[in-house]
Chains A and B, each alone.
Chain A
């Protein structure tokens, strides 16, 4: 019992942090926000899945994937294909020249359901595919890249290129994928209308609980020996390799976990927003997801969630009120966070927030506890293991 408490919740400190986050997304948001805004927050939370995965891959593993949108998109498209098939039963598509296939196929003169769409008639297959398809692709990319010891930078560039390839492919193959519009007009899940306010509320909770589950899994990984190995590899990869570890397999593992989280996030996005399109797959969304993790703090799993929420609140607010300013702000945020606050909000909290809290409680010893998080030019910032007691 004690072990589980330590490794999953990260002791008292981690448990409080997690409880606060859970209270915020499970109680405060549903009570304070109307149905429309809550659905929007639900959408942001699906990005948080990706950001949590990025903390694992990038913060701990030191591998910066600029193609997480690929996995988000694959998960989302798998879900969308199932929902689209359900929405395209012969009865509701009888005005098409070929009833029973998705409308965009009919518009593109396709007369038969393509073979790779067939299995998506099954919900259980779809649910497996939401995780399995991103993981398999990550496995292939990971094996190809890490077994050959491709450098960090090359990995980033290649993942970005794959994001571009996938986007161009989806847009180009309009008849098979819905093209640039994506897969739209999704209605029901096994007969349950996902467009009602009630359904959206339920899906929000499902999504929030799944996100908390992913955070627990990520915490378990980070707290395990594997988590320590990842950090050790970031600084002394040779030492780890010559201590008898297959370094590549650990990188492949976290990359696959990140892909799985992103896939689940994508599927929840499709369910809550009601469509999936290439604009969530490509280079721009992929790199935006990195900024969510960077703002929250690349080594903080909870920070990733706050980062995703904050940046997206900002995006929504500014693009509604000052659309001109938004890109300046977003770009500026990138530059400032990366250059001056490499540990993001979590780093600020550790260096300032806790001291402030301690002064408030007049307990000066807490102030000395966190390591100073400085912009270290020579080496990356010292990671704060969330689980060290």
Chain B
């Protein structure tokens, strides 16, 4: 941001500048600037229709920007294909748990192992000891170590959310994007998820969209409030919560 060029450590891992997307004249995201630093857990909040999910869609290439740039670690994401963005190190969890219901937990995680991603690679992909160890390690991390061979549709809703996070961890992304990770979770599951996020944010950046303020408080290093496709306020949770503009459009409701 304001740091001098070449000073590597302070350079944000993700720099969104002037980002705009319009659907038939309706600007869902309007001239947005947003930065995510290294090793940061950055939470985006905002009322419904503020453009939060659209921002994630734009970063991961699901929606194409009308104008502006998204710089990820020196690479321009707006021109890249979805799978290249993933391979560059961006992982994205969808709002509803999106897992392969017919496969086991092990197989779900294995699918995201970053090898055999091309046609012939996939054809001759082998389940080596290395793969097995990595899957087991991630399964432990997401608290599903005991359910490795259970079919995914038999998991609880919260466990499905964790499984999808685990699938992203398999790719070891530099930037992890989570869309409402605790929606529909019980209180204890929320606490466990907060711990999980605090653990996995070591060595990577995490961008989270969330409505649950308690949860946001327990994880956020920095909070950005979106309103009508623009940044309304940014800062620590306390600063944001006491911001009168924010209270007016969002928290005051």
Contact = CB atoms under 8 A, between A and B. Distances in A.
Does A touch B (CB under 8 Å) in the complex? yes
Interface of A: 3, 220-221, 224-226, 228-229, 231-232, 235-236, 238-247, 249-250, 253, 382-383
B191 interface: no
A171 B94 CA distance: 51
A236 B98 contact: yes
Contacts of A250: 119, 122
Nearest to A247: B83
Contact of B94 (A3, A238, A246): A238
Interface stretch (B106-114, B193-201, B210-218): B106-114
A231 B118 contact: no
Contact of A224 (B60, B83, B124): B124
A249 B118 contact: yes
30 contacts: A221-B123, A224-B123, A224-B124, A225-B110, A225-B111, A225-B116, A226-B123, A226-B125, A229-B111, A229-B122, A231-B100, A235-B100, A235-B102, A236-B98, A236-B100, A238-B62, A238-B98, A242-B62, A242-B92, A242-B94, A243-B86, A243-B112, A244-B83, A244-B86, A246-B81, A246-B83, A246-B118, A247-B83, A249-B118, A250-B122
Contacts of B83: 241-242, 244-247
B122 A225 contact: yes
A221 B123 CA distance: 6
By Cβ-Cβ distance, the 3 closest A-B pairs, closest first, are A244-B86, A225-B125, A226-B122
A244 B100 contact: no
A243 B167 contact: yes
Nearest to A250: B119
Contacts of A239: 94, 98-100, 167
A224 B111 CA distance: 11
Interface in B62-89: 62, 81-83, 86-87
B92 A228 contact: no
Contacts of A382: 102
Contacts of A224: 122-125
A4 B168 CA distance: 31
Q: Which of B103, B110, B119, B167 has the most CB of A within 10 A?
A: B119
B99 A236 contact: yes
Nearest to A232: B100
A333 to B, nearest CB: 28
Given A236-B100, A242-B82, A382-B102, A249 B119 contact: yes
Given A232-B111, A239-B100, A244 B124 contact: no
B134 interface: no
B117 interface: yes
Nearest to B81: A246
A239 B98 CA distance: 6
Given A221-B123, A226-B119, A229-B111, A244 B103 contact: no
Q: Which of A229, A232, A245, A247 has the most CB of B within 10 A?
A: A245
A250 B103 CA distance: 19
Contacts of B62: 238, 242
Contacts of B101: 235
A224 B122 CA distance: 7
Contacts of B112: 243-244
Contact of B111 (A3, A228, A235, A238): A228
Classify the secondary structure of A's interface with B: helix
Given A236-B98, A242-B83, A242-B94, 18 more contacts: A3-B126, A224-B122, A224-B125, A225-B122, A225-B123, A226-B125, A228-B103, A232-B103, A238-B94, A238-B98, A239-B98, A239-B100, A242-B62, A243-B112, A244-B86, A244-B87, A244-B117, A382-B102
B81 to A, nearest CB: 7
Contacts of B123: 220-221, 224-226
A229 to B, nearest CB: 6
Nearest to B88: A244
A239 B101 CA distance: 12
A253 B102 CA distance: 23
Nearest to B114: A244
B161 interface: no
Contacts of A244: 83, 86-87, 112, 114, 117, 171
Contacts of B92: 242
A382 B102 CA distance: 7
A231 B125 contact: no
Q: Which of A220, A232, A382 has the most CB of B within 10 A?
A: A232
A85 B119 CA distance: 38
A231 B122 CA distance: 13
A224 B124 CA distance: 7
A250 B116 CA distance: 12
A91 B211 CA distance: 86
A287 B124 CA distance: 32
A253 B86 contact: no
B103 A241 contact: no
Contacts of B99: 236, 239
A143 B196 CA distance: 41
A287 B210 CA distance: 49
A232 B104 CA distance: 12
Contacts of B167: 239, 243
Contacts of B116: 225
A128 to B, nearest CB: 20
B122 A241 contact: no
B119 A253 contact: yes
